[in-house]
Structure 1
Amino acid sequence: MTDIKLVMREGALQGRLPVQELARACVAECASAAAELGARRAGLAEVPTVRVDDGAVATAFLSERHLLINGRAPVAFAPLSRFWRTADGWVRTHANYPHHRARLLDVLRVPEDVAAVEAALAERSALDVEEAVYAAGGLAVALRSPEEWAAHPQAAEVAKRPLVEQGRLDAARVRTLTPIDAAALLPAAGLRVLDLTRVLAGPVATRTLALLGADVLRLDAPRLPELPDQHADTGFGKRSAALDLAADRQTFEELLAAADVVVTGYRPGALDRFGLSPEALAERRPGVVVAQLSAWGAYGPWCERRGFDSLVQAATGIAVLEGSAQRPGALPAQALDHGTGYLLAAAVLRALTEQSQEGGSRFVRLALTRTAQWLTDGMNGVDGVDGMDGVDGMDTRDAGHDSYDGPKAWLSEADSALGRLRYALSPVSFEGGPENWARPPAPWGTEAARWA
């Protein structure tokens, strides 16, 4: 059992739902998994003590808001990404990306003007907008109460699944992990991670693996540029390359042949045509760990839908619980994204540990909607939930208590090719472990698609 030293701070991530508790538990699970793998690889007799500080956790869960690039704060949401009144309620749209914005406007048949969008949506029902926009490839979700979501067939499918799905794909031989230096404990040192994720949850997971020493190479399709500020926030420790999986398949196969982990964050099945299902990857790279992330889950009627944290909050009743049906609210952070990201990193670390002991290619799978259910269910007591081992050692009765006076203590600065950056430090902390990333983020798609 990992010993966890907890520092609780009043005023961090305040909400009606237990969002601070969720954030704390997700980080504790990730740090515990890292410490345990590090101890194993360094040959330590005892697992290093983990430290979870609510201040560090709260700051990191708001990392995209704390980022400054040459003193400039990023824009978190585009003007058309928000709640809108409809004829019978509310709808939440996501239009940060140009192609999603264009599809929303095409459905509404209006120009890119807030007043025009507002008027068009006011004449239609929320469910009608939801279906029409999704059918066009855009993103909109009707506001639902917790009861309405519970009656939805997607919610029924989500409820059947564990918080962290995991399994063994084959009987691949045990892969021996090389020893690491106990004096500078980097549990993922020497491991190669292919990062095929976008937006927050997946990139948070791979950013964490980079902190822990992994060689993380993010690959993006050249035709789908990332939002630059978002990429900067989640790009610490990684390299970024543009690669067309269809046109340059040989390069990808060469990368896969030396990869230890493949992390995907696209809709379930979206990458299968490129041979990126867990089974296909394991066939070509026995012993690989495949980590999959989605918004709605790899099951149920919404499994092929795109989604983001804000949309999941609207659909699952969180926006009603944090506000009301008359005036929807939001969590104090994009906690579904960040929390799921740390859980995903933890699941990868535990899968690597299991693979080094028992062999077999492994898969892990998480969904923002399942994390949302965990939150709205009150986290089911937290300890031992769905295979989460790290939180078992976290006894809040013995925790230190302090106030949260803001993020200053958990921010750092660095020069980069993007300019001078102010950014949030990682909350994943354990004795002897890393305190910062080895390198700042690089501009999107500017590096070679090869391992360091």
Structure 2
Amino acid sequence: MIRYTLHSVPMTAVDREYAESAWAALGGDPALLARVSTVVRAGALEARLPVREMARACVGACALAAAELGARRSGRAVPPRAPAGGAAGAPGDDVPGVRVDDGAVAAAFVSERHLRVAGRAPVSFAPLSRFWRTRDGWVRTHANYPHHRARLSAALELPDDTGSLAAVLAERSAAEVEETVTAAGGLAVALRTPREWARHPQGAAVADRPLVERERLDRAGVRTRTAAGHDPLLPAAGLRVLDLTRVIAGPVATRTLALLGADVLRIDPPGLPELADQHLDTGFGKRSARLDLSADRRTFEELLASADVVVTGYRPGTLDRFGLSPAALAERRPGIVVGQLSAWGAYGPWGGRRGFDSLVQVATGIAALEGAGHGRGEPGALPAQALDHGTGYLLAAGVLRAVTDQLDAGGSRCVRAALARTARWLLDGAAPHACPGTRDGLNGLNGSNGSGGSDGRTGSAAPDGRDGPRARGTVSYGDPYAGPGPWLAETDGGQGRLRYARSPVSFGGGPADWARPPGAWGADSPRWT
């Protein structure tokens, strides 16, 4: 049974900084942060770094963006209610209250582990996706997809077995392995400390970018968008979303838009394989079709002609040759919102590289800090693929806020998020409040103290709380996190009975679950409902 205490306390400094910086990066009104309340559960997402606080902020920002858009589009008047420390009728009283529960967040951030398909546990990382010792350190490889496994084996000239790979890597330097495998189109990243990443050209390029990049692409007029008559409140109802994403972060973003009422159609190329369990976990509420953009361009253009949002998750530049850059999409579909997701960012020397959450943790120093000896022993990992999930919620929030901005000023919009930038944000937030065992590793973060402006925040308070607007949301304490049970649900799907984690995005009057279970990958027709 879930229990809550009856008392509330102010946010901690770390919570406040993450909440404020995320919402400011999205261009949100600071006054709306008073609408957010948090249920704290000891033991959820435990780590040396403040993963729980970061995850709360990502989910809270997404839920608040949804609540704000829902209030605007529905015209539904929410009775005025005095926020903590405020007066009735204060700004934002028409926006539903948001609740962020640590239990729901913890369950959702490892949703891929909780999935059960007819009682079967999901297939996890492949044998060649792991840490390996090198002559001078460590590398992590990623070979879950057959084509990545083949490129890894070809680059290192070895048969596809773990024993041979271990022997070969033990004789090479980590930097050599990284460059050799990357040049062959495979995935291998050398372990770095935060100091080393901060000095790396890509680390420096990432640090100079906002947490969420927001751009107006043109002067397209205001579109009339209403969502009246929906119960529960569905902020994205009526929006058509083309989902051109893969793996976790992008599909988490579009899965969230589907929860909120959007008609989401995922499009995949016919020849690129997908992991069945991964698709099921992130496919709730969506439809899935396969389409060759070269051979059947007319069908795609017909879809685009009535789309409201396009979300992409391929390497930067990959889709440009198909005329799918943000500028090209806006030219053909004025008023479009484009959400772009990448691993390393669309800039810097690594801007065109492939990447996954596990590899970004290794490059940025997170794996070193979470490992044995805090960077001086075997590397570790966060308790969840938190960069993937967190960035997914931030991207969904960016899309929702872009639609809200369009209600006032029109314009085609583009929002961008990157796993490496989210990693930097996580490390920035830890720096001034160094978690046990992390201070030495964080001292090299270009002098960052978590309160700078590089993450897009405006008017954020200093760590001592003396300046700037404050996040006045409240915190209450529930039972310690004892497992995901209360936040799991079951439904029947085409592959059998599914157990899954519910979405942590929750606000007054909003949806409690997805309207439909996931179907088989690529089984739907490429057309709107």
| Shorter-normalised TM range | over 0.9
Contact 2:60 2:505 in 1 (8 A): yes
Specify the SS of the correspondent of 2:348: coil
Is the CA contact (8 Å cut-off) linking 1:293 and 1:367 kept in structure 2?
A: yes
Larger Rg: 2
Amino acid aligned to 1:162? P
Q: Which residue of 2 aligns with 1:6?
A: 38
- CA distance in 2 between counterparts of 1:288 and 1:71 reads 41
Q: Give runs of aligned pairs for residues 291-310 of structure 1, distance below 5 A.
A: 291-310=339-358
**Match status 1:386 vs 2:463:** no
Larger mean Cα displacement after TM superposition, 375-384 or 261-270: 375-384
Q: Write the mapping of 1:236-315 to structure 2, written as runs, cut at 5 A.
A: 236-315=284-363
2:411 to 342, 353, 360: 360
Amino acid at match of 2:324: L
Task: Give the Cα–Cα distance (whole angstroms) in 2 for the partners of residues 84 and 10 of structure 1.
Answer: 33
Deviations 1:184-230 (A, max 9, x none): 20000000000000000000000000000000000000000210000
Which of 388, 393, 407 is 1:342 aligned to?
393
Whole-Å separation in 2 of the counterparts to 1:292 and 1:342: 13
Match of 1:442 in 2: 519
Cα separation, 1, equivalents of 2:405 and 2:473: 29
Cα displacement (A) at 1:300 = 0.2
Matches within 5 A, 1:409-424: 409-424=486-501
Which of residues 44, 60, 63 is equivalent to 1:31?
A: 63
Which stretches in structure 2 are left out of the alignment for 5+ residues? 1-30, 78-93, 431-449, 462-468
- What are the equivalent positions in structure 2 for 1:322-337 lying under 5 Å apart? 322-323=370-371, 324-337=375-388
Whether the aligned pair in 1 keeps the contact of 2:145 and 2:273 (CA below 8 Å) is no
Write the distance in 1 (CA, Å) between the matches of 2:349 and 2:481: 42
Q: Deviations over 1:132-184 (max 9, x none)?
A: 10100000000001111111000111111000000100000101102323642
- Inter-partner Cα distance in structure 2 for 1:382 and 1:30: 22
Partner of 1:425: 502
Match of residue 16 from structure 2: none
Deviations along 1:371-401, whole A, 9 cap, x unmatched?
0000011163699962599x98854664334
- Local SS of the residue matching 2:41: strand
Q: Which moved more, 1:117-126 or 1:279-288?
A: 117-126
- Give distance in 2, aligned partners of 1:41 and 1:316: 40
The 5-angstrom pairing of residues 46-445 of structure 1 reads: 46-181=94-229, 183-323=231-371, 324-378=375-429, 380=450, 386=456, 395=472, 398-445=475-522
Distance 1:244 1:325, change over 3 A: farther
CA contact (8 A) 1:7 1:402 kept: no
Q: Which amino acid aligns with 2:76?
A: L
1:291 is paired with a residue of what secondary structure? strand
Report the number of matched residues.
452
Q: 1:411 offset after TM fit, Å?
A: 0.1
Indicate if the aligned counterparts of 1:218 and 1:239 stay in contact, CA closer than 8 A. yes
Output the aligned Cα RMSD: 1.9
Match of 1:310, SS state, is helix
TM-score between the two structures when normalised by the length of structure 2: 0.83
User: Higher mean Cα deviation, 95-104 or 105-114?
Assistant: 105-114
8 Å Cα contact 2:36/2:98 also seen in 1: yes
Matches of 1:437 and 1:384, distance apart in 2? 36
**CA contact 1:340–1:366 (8 Å) conserved in 2:** yes
Give the SS at the match of 1:161: coil
Secondary structure at the counterpart of residue 262 of structure 1:
strand
Deviation at 1:325, TM superposition (A): 3.6
How many Å separate the matches in 1 of 2:98 and 2:185? Answer: 43
> Measured at CA, do residues 103 and 385 of structure 1 come closer, stay the same or move farther in structure 2, by a change above 3 Å?
closer
Normalization by structure 1: what TM-score? 0.97
SS at match of 1:404: coil
**Structure 1 stretch displaced more, 400-409 or 134-143:** 400-409
In structure 1, distance between residues paired with 2:333 and 2:266: 18
The CA deviation at 1:128 is 0.6
CA contact (8 A) 1:193 1:262 kept: yes
